[in-house]
Amino acid sequence: MIASRDKAPEREDIEALLPWHAAGTLSRRDAERVERALAQDAELARRFELVREEMAETIHLNETLGAPSPRAAQRLFAAIDAEGARTKRRTVSFDFSGWLAGLIAQLSPRTLAWSGVAAALAIVLQAGLLAGLLLGKRGASYRTASYGEPTASAQGAFALVRFNPAASAADITSFFDTHKASLVEGPRAGGIYRIRVAANTLSKDELAKIVAQMAEDRNVVAFIVPAP
Amino acid sequence: MQATSDEALISRIATGDRLAMQALYARHHVRVYRFVVRLVGNTTVAEDLISEVFLDVWRQAGTFEARSAASTWLLAIARFKALSAMRRKPEEELDEKMAGAIEDPADDPETTVQKKNKSEILRKCLTALSKDHREIIDLVYYHEKSVEEVAGIVGIPEATVKTRMFYARKKLSELLKAAGVDRGWP
């Protein structure tokens, strides 16, 4: 009696594996366990036949569902071609930057120094435009990204981010909308911006999780770390 | 001659190889489509969704780590897309063909048995199962996914996979019994 009670959970366990045994997707060890049980238990063997019956009809049913029309493939590869064209445009942009870098390398130190000043001004101007874009809804007309509101800046959870050079202003705006983030300060040295990723203070783990999610947006983010 | 593995194709896709994408699509699109049709019950929606599934593959091929079979990865993406579409359009009408296949199992079971053989009734009952039960039965029987793979695709523990499969089969038997086919189980 005790022995049969002990066998009941084992039988339930084996019975639960029958569908996978029929499909041939059990490990060798489990498949052998099931085979041994089937050889010794006529009722279990009968139930296995029910499983095989279900499997046969499931396959039959699925095979009658047909296949998608060529429209699905046309739509897919048209989208892929469109993405390819976009990538090519980005490649052209990258080549242009390389060409520009080569040109700068050929300039005299004095010219280069003036170019540096001009570049710094350009970055400040770009940052200002970016901030204007992001803060436009608040009625901001023109201000640099480093223009701060001390009280607001002190609250929340923050990260340091460097944007992908290929990312457009629209990409960055969309990134901020998606992650409900906002620009706080920057650009700092190396093109780093400080952004607010949550309105409230977060634990270290929570902040790391959000930063990891943002890092997945590689089209926009080149580098990101939690900020104190 | 050995065909290029799915993993090799995905590696090539990650480098922007369009031909590899065509090969992977040719190899898997029918099964992915059927999986989605069974979930959403609408062939037009399913066609749109498989385009989106394979476009995601094109975009995310570089993130595929081959810890699971490529077909498992595809079905997981397909499932996510299908559920999202169903949430967007909960009122989506069922495809006429699918709807026609579903009948009230309690409706005149004796007549049903007389008209149709057991296999046909079984297929009708498979169609009448809930989405969760249809999904797990298809994954195990048709897509030949192991307990571990089903757990990965559906996002539930392995023990729950076994339990859900058991209840799906039990429900199937109940539907069959109501349609006049008593299998003596459970």
B126 confidence band (pLDDT: 50, 70, 90): very high
The predicted-structure confidence for A180-224, as pLDDT tens digits, reads as follows 888 887 777 666 788 889 888 888 888 888 988 888 888 788 888
**More confident position, B99 or B149:** B149
Enter the pTM of the model: 0.62
Q: Do the beta carbons of residue A156 and residue A211 sit within 8 Å?
A: no
Q: What is the CATH number of domain B1-90?
A: 1.10.1740.10
Domain range annotation of chain B: 1-90, 103-180
Contacts of A206 (CB under 8 A, 6+ apart): A157, A198
B2–chain A nearest CA distance, Å = 23
Q: Please report residues of B whose CB lies closer than 8 A to that of A56.
A: 119
Yes or no, beta carbons of A67 and B33 under 8 Å apart: yes
Q: Do the beta carbons of residue B36 and residue B49 sit within 8 Å?
A: yes
Domain A142-227: which CATH number of 3.30.70.80, 3.30.70.1230, 3.30.1360.120, 3.20.20.450: 3.30.70.80
**Alpha carbon A208 to chain centroid distance?**
15
Backbone angles phi, psi at B92, to 5 degrees: -50, 130
CATH topology of domain B103-180: Arc Repressor Mutant, subunit A (1.10.10)
Query: Buried b / exposed e across A189-203, counting CB within 10 Å, b at 16+?
Result: eebbbbbbbbeeebe
Q: Please report residues of A whose CB lies closer than 8 A to that of B123.
A: 57, 60-61
Q: Is the pLDDT of residue B55 over 60?
A: yes
Residue A181 has a CB neighbour count (10 Å cut-off) of 21
CA-based angle B3:B4:B7, to the nearest 5? 140
Nearest CA in chain B to A68: B47
The two counts, helices (H) then strands (E), for chain A are: 8, 4
Yes or no, beta carbons of A72 and B162 under 8 Å apart: no
Q: Do the beta carbons of residue A197 and residue A204 sit within 8 Å?
A: no
pLDDT at B78: 97
A162 confidence band (pLDDT: 50, 70, 90): confident
**More confident position, A136 or A37:** A37
The ipTM assigned to this model is 0.87
The predicted-structure confidence for A57-80, as pLDDT tens digits, reads as follows 999 999 999 999 999 999 999 999
Q: Which residue has the tokens 């949430």?
A: B87
Please give the DSSP secondary-structure letter assigned to residue B92: P
Question: What is the C-alpha to C-alpha distance for residues B36 and A149, in angstroms, rounded to an integer?
Answer: 50
Q: Does B166 touch chain A (CB under 8 A)?
A: yes
Domain range annotation of chain A: 2-63, 142-227
- Which range, A166-170, A180-184, B58-62, has the best average confidence (pLDDT)? B58-62
